[in-house]
């Protein structure tokens, strides 16, 4: 392994992601090289503090405006940007480099950027023949792209989806009157699953997140069913904690109580108000696990019905913090304050027995997912969960957009680092902790060799 890595490093010495322009940063989609025939989207990132109420950007090509969008918070992370979806249609253009002009309104800041189009004959497979298609199962309308790993395995994927949806329906004591829109994505986005207008799950042979598919589907279906049941205000901490709790683990089956208890001696426990008020900015594995442990504690202590009533009656924020809104509903329905809830939860965690194997697995899991997040931020930013590029599924299908999901950064740096991530994930899943640690050490060392 060491010899192979050293050889690849010689090939990678000059590789590295491009840096942003001086003021605004423009990202293009699909990722990687652009080809004649692409319908190109742009993300225009603001340079720090920016007025999202009145600022917008327009794009001009060959003397005419091709698109305009407001600056708004984007994605889970709320990054301020203007997203212009599929505004540059290159079907009638030739292989060449083309200047496009970006103008920020109303202040008139203008700059030009040049984008090269490569021959359509060089479009990587499974394009250009790939297209969206669908199948219907008991639970879901399933959408996928032809020629992908999901297309190959769609029969099995449908069976797993039906099984997980039925289990979630039983947990919530409910049923859906409509089918779940479920989309299988042929690239890694975030940690492998998102739920918004429908459920989106990454499925590909080279998925370095390599999570248990049943648990990922269960987790996202919990979000979908949870959304249909509604509530005044469902804080992110409780939404994600509930999904992990009802799935019996985060990315794999795991004992939530003892695993969450390991956070205390490791010094990783996040104060509950911090977690409630700013959930997604906390370390991913730790935040989700701590939230799941809290839901487990509340359900075991007060019963499912009492928890569910409290959860769905948290008042909508009126300039207040999520923790204060939770405090109001806790007092009304469970007879405790937010601080009393946290004290009881910590006592519950301290009562748990934590085997050494669980502690070791948690430590390596935290290292792995932190490494995966860092990889995405630097080497595949469209995949990073806080700002992932995931357009509306219906819009993608209606516009026949497949390249945004099929293409991803595929340089030698991406291939090597993703191979190491995949290797580490499989070693961790098999319980080979010493080798997992060694692979993560290699990953950390090699990542630092590339320029920022």
In a domain, 175, yes or no: no
Q: What are phi and psi of 30, to 5 degrees?
A: -70, 160
Kind of pairing, strands 56-61 and 96-105?
Answer: antiparallel
In a domain, 110, yes or no: yes
Distance CA 388, CA 225 (A): 23
Band of residue 195 on the pLDDT scale cut at 50, 70, 90: very high
In a domain, 160, yes or no: no
pTM over 0.85: yes
Strand partners, 69: 57
Contacts of 214 (CB under 8 A, 6+ apart): 160, 163, 164
**Domain count of the chain?**
1
In a domain, 229, yes or no: no
Distance CA 89, CA 34 (A): 11
pLDDT tens digits along 279-333: 999 998 999 999 999 999 999 999 999 999 999 999 988 888 999 999 999 999 9
pLDDT tens digits along 45-85: 988 766 666 899 999 999 999 999 999 999 988 899 999 99
Q: What is the mean pLDDT of residues 366-378?
A: 95
Q: What is the mean pLDDT of residues 10-30?
A: 60
In a domain, 213, yes or no: no
DSSP state of 121: G
pLDDT tens digits along 90-109: 999 999 999 999 999 998 99
Token duo for residue 452: 């920022």
In a domain, 79, yes or no: yes
Please tell me the predicted confidence (pLDDT) of residue 450: 85
In a domain, 30, yes or no: yes
Range of the domain at 92: 25-122
In a domain, 271, yes or no: no
CA–CA–CA angle 93, 97, 98 (5° rounding): 70
Q: What is the mean pLDDT of residues 336-362?
A: 97
The pairs formed by 334-340 with CB atoms below 8 angstroms and a separation of 24 or more are: 334/298, 334/302, 334/306, 334/310, 338/272, 338/273, 338/276
Q: What CATH number did the domain enclosing 60 receive? A: 2.60.40
pLDDT tens digits along 216-272: 999 999 999 999 998 999 999 999 999 999 999 998 999 999 999 999 999 999 999
Bond preceding residue 307 cis, omega within 30 of 0: no
Distance CA 76, CA 66 (A): 28
């Amino acid at each position: 392994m060491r010899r192979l890595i050293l050889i690849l490093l010689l090939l990678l010495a000059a590789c590295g992601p491009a840096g942003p322009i001086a003021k605004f940063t423009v990202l293009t989609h699909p990722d990687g090289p652009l080809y004649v025939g692409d319908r190109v989207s742009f993300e225009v990132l603001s340079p720090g503090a920016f007025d999202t109420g009145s600022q917008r950007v327009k794009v001009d090509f060959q003397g005419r405006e091709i698109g305009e969008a407001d600056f708004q918070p984007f994605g889970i992370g709320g990054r301020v940007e203007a997203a212009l979806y599929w505004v540059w249609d290159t079907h009638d253009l030739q292989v060449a480099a083309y200047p496009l002009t970006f103008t920020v309104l109303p202040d008139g800041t203008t700059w030009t950027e040049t984008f090269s189009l490569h021959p359509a004959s060089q479009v990587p497979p499974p394009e250009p023949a790939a297209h969206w298609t669908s199948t219907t199962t008991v639970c879901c309308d399933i959408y996928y792209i032809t020629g992908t790993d999901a297309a190959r395995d769609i029969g099995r994927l449908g069976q797993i989806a039906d099984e997980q949806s039925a289990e979630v329906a039983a947990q919530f004591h409910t049923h859906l009157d409509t089918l779940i829109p479920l989309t299988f994505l042929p690239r890694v986005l975030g940690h492998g699953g998102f739920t918004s207008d429908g459920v989106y799950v990454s499925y590909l042979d080279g998925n370095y997140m390599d999570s248990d598919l049943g648990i990922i589907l269960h987790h996202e279906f919990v979000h979908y069913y949870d959304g249909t049941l509604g509530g005044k205000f469902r804080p992110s901490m409780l939404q994600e904690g509930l999904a992990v709790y009802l799935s019996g683990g985060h990315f794999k089956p795991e004992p939530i109580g003892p695993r969450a208890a390991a956070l205390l001696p490791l010094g990783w426990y996040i104060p509950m108000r911090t977690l409630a008020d700013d959930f997604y900015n906390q370390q991913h594995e730790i935040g989700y696990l701590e939230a799941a442990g809290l839901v487990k504690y509340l359900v075991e202590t007060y019963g499912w019905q009492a928890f569910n009533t409290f959860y769905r009656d948290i008042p909508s924020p009126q300039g207040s913090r999520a923790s204060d809104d939770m405090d109001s509903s806790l007092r009304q329905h469970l007879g405790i304050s937010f601080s009393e809830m946290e004290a009881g939860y910590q006592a519950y965690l301290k009562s748990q027995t934590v085997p050494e194997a669980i502690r070791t697995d948690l430590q390596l899991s935290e290292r792995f997912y932190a490494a995966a997040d860092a990889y995405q931020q630097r080497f595949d930013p469209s995949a990073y969960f806080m700002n992932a590029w995931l357009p509306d599924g219906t819009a993608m299908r209606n516009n026949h957009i497949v390249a945004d999901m099929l293409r991803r950064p595929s340089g030698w740096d991406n291939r090597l680092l993703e191979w190491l991530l995949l290797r580490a994930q499989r070693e961790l899943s098999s319980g080979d902790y010493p080798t997992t640690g060694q692979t993560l050490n290699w990953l950390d060392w090699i990542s630092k060799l590339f320029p920022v």
